[in-house]
Structure 1
Amino acid sequence: MNIHLRDIDKENWKECIFLTTNKEGKHFVCEEFVASNALSIAQSRIQNGWITKAIYDEDTMVGFTMYGFSYDHNFYEICRIMIDHKYQGKGYGRAALSKVIEAMKTFKNCNAIFLCFDPENQIGKQLYERFNFKDTGRVIDGELLYRLDLE
């Protein structure tokens, strides 16, 4: 496995927006536990602070992530991370999350990383807790807010 993050550009944007977590391969603006990649890319063009990247294993796109500074909440956040349904359960989420955290550690003044997730997303919860994200006890828009201290 050789996971790396690549910019979304004119060569790969269509492939990226057709990734989905839906087991039947159907596309929705809001999927079970994550907004669609198309919605995320649009959001990143309207709101400042977000970085969008495709997640690759070698030359195969396996997922998508959006991270950066949330001006709405005034903290650094992993806003989206998704692995296409065809590649789930193979360790890609863990490897991709590690790459995103590495990238965010290089941000000036980034002492903590936040993320929100649906309380029913037990697989995500286990993954985040393995990386030492801790429950803040706060809920934002019905999602649990977790924090990873980098110091």
Structure 2
Amino acid sequence: MNVHLESVTSSNFDQIIELKSGIEQEQRMQIYERWVGSNAFFLAVCQVYKFTPRAIYDSETLIGFACHGYNSETERFQLISVMLGHQFQGKGYATASLKLIIDDMNLQYKCKEIYLTVIHDNMNAIKAYEKIGFIPTGEIEKAFHDEHVYKLIL
């Protein structure tokens, strides 16, 4: 496993857009998937809010997408979205990817805390976040779905 982050460019843009979190999403073009917004949606969010998009690779293979930044509405550094393509889930990539994203955020922002939100029944994501050290704050963010807020203290 050689997991690393890359910038989003014209060379990987289409692949990122086509990467889906669930096999049932493969035939659909939509803004929201079951537990995550589409990568197209989050690339637009990055452009509008000046968040940082990152492609997640294992060697030369695109396996996922993430974006992060300072959320001026909450006044917090936030992991806005992270997703792994369905064919790469359950293979140990979540932990490796999250560690890289946290390092990337720490390097870029020198932040002391990182926040994220997750839909209450996305148990695989919750387990991955808690394994890294994220803890629930008890807050609920009103988004497309009600989402539980988690915090990581660095």
Asked if the contact 1:29/1:35 (under 8 Å) is kept, the reply is yes
| Alpha-carbon distance in 1 for matches of 2:107, 2:46 | 20
Label 1:108 to 1:22 Cα distance change in 2 as closer, same or farther (>3 A).
closer
2:71 maps to 70
Aligned partners of 2:109 and 2:9: how far apart in 1? 25
Moved over 3 A (4+): none
The verdict on how the C-alpha distance between 1:139 and 1:13 changes in structure 2, with shifts beyond 3 A counting, is: same
Question: Shift of the alpha carbon at 1:16?
Answer: 0.5
Indicate the percent of aligned positions where both proteins have the same amino acid.
31
Cα deviation, 1:26-62, whole Å, max 9, x if unaligned, reads 33210011100001001111113x1001100000000
The gaps in structure 2 that reach 5 residues or longer are none
**What is the correspondence of 1:1-150 to structure 2 with a 5 Å cutoff?**
1-24=1-24, 25-27=26-28, 28-48=30-50, 50-141=51-142, 142-150=146-154
**Gap runs ≥5 in structure 1:** none
| CA distance, structure 1, for counterparts of residue 70 and residue 119 of structure 2 | 20
In 1, Cα distance between equivalents of 2:77 and 2:108 = 9
Number of matched residues? Answer: 149
Tell me the TM-score normalized by structure 1: 0.95
Cα root mean square deviation, aligned: 1.0
